[in-house]
Amino acid sequence: MQYERCGRSGVMLPKVSLGMWHNFGSVDPYERSREIVRFAFDHGVTHLDLANNYGPAYGSAEETLGHLMDDDFKPYRDELFISTKAGYDMWPGPYGDWGSRKYLMASLDQSLKRMHLDYVDLFYSHRYDPHTPLEETLQALVDIVRQGKALYVGISNWPLEPLKFGIDYLKQHDTPLLIYQGKLNMLHQEPIQQGILQCCQEAGVGFIAFSPLAQGMLTDRYLNGIPKDSRMSKGKFLREEMLTPELLQQLRQWNEEAQQKGESLAEMALAWILQQKGVTSVLVGASSTEQLARNLRCVDAQAPER
């Protein structure tokens, strides 16, 4: 594994980090989750990324990590960089969503209990809240660090102007923003187009990309039809109408280019992200160790000619 410095911090992150959004919830076999995380750690993937509502069910991915800490990883806690988040829907009522101080602090306390941890390395505001004063959300992040419940803070899914405000506020309060997490892939380049990646780079803030394979579209999974067991067939995050004839033609062209280099489309797509200036790491999910092993090869893959 290769490691990259996260902005202007002392933190080094693996170029490939493990995202636990899917495949680690209560509906998934624990032994398979355990096998994947152990494989990741054994291959240098030291960063595990979670959020309060990852599962399903909500909170169950963090519970899985708690079991893993007890069973395997407590002796290696200082070799891991663990993150979690709050900002999306988590529990009923007015205090289990968005960006209030009450929600962020209560959510992190719950997350630490589920993960059997005293602190997380990184805590994120998971999304921009247009109804809560930015100062309230950001001061909650500052105070969470001061309380020792997180070592660093991050921001995810914030627009450019609030992000700039957040960078300045956190710097002024001696809790510099470590990293921004945004959706970035060959089909979704808004962080580049909107100036977010450039802003992070200029401010010394790291950037980590989620959904790097566009929910599987940037793999060979949909090149010859829609498998019955695929995410697209279920229609929740991916819908069949998204796979237009024009997009399918582009995917097949990229796949051919990757094959000519002796790579898979997924490897090439991940390599494209890692070669964008300012990107620290890319978050990959995995439903098997074989899939994770294939994706780890992206560190040595070539980006497409564009």
pLDDT tens, residue by residue, 150-175: 999 999 999 999 999 999 999 999 99
Residue in the block written with tokens 């280019």:
257
- pLDDT bucket at 215, cuts 50 / 70 / 90: confident
153 - beta bridge partners?
123, 177
Contact at 8 Å (CB) between 292 and 39? yes
**Which residue in this structure is represented by tokens 């933190």?**
11
Would the pLDDT of 304 be above 90? Answer: no
**82-102 average pLDDT score:** 98
pLDDT digits (tens, 9 = 90+) for 34-85: 999 999 999 999 999 999 999 999 999 999 999 999 999 999 999 999 999 9
Angle between helices 60-68 and 101-115 (to 10 degrees): 40
Task: Sort 295 into a burial class: Cβ within 10 Å, 0-12 / 13-18 / 19+.
Answer: buried
Of 46, 43, 50, residue with least CA distance to 181: 50
For 279, the token pair is: 């990107």
The model's pTM is 0.94
Q: What percent of the chain has pLDDT over 90?
A: 85
Helices (H) and strands (E) in the chain, counts: 11, 10
Buried b (16+ CB within 10 A) or exposed e, 47-73: bbbbbbbbbeebbbbbbbbbbbbeeeb
Q: What is the CATH number of domain 3-223+265-300?
A: 3.20.20.100
Q: How confident is the model at residue 128 (pLDDT cuts 50, 70, 90)?
A: very high
Contact (Cβ atoms closer than 8 angstroms) between residue 149 and residue 123? yes
Indicate if the pLDDT at residue 133 is higher than 80: yes
pLDDT of the residue at 239:
63
Closest listed residue to residue 85, CA positions, set 32, 33, 150, 38:
150
What value does the mean pLDDT of the chain take? 94
What is the pLDDT averaged over residues 283-305? Answer: 89
Per-residue pLDDT, 256: 93
**Phi, psi for 120 (deg, rounded to 5):** -110, 155
Task: Return all residues near 230 (Cβ < 8 A) that are at least 6 apart.
Answer: 216, 221, 222, 238
At 233, is the pLDDT very low, low, confident or very high (cuts 50, 70, 90)? low
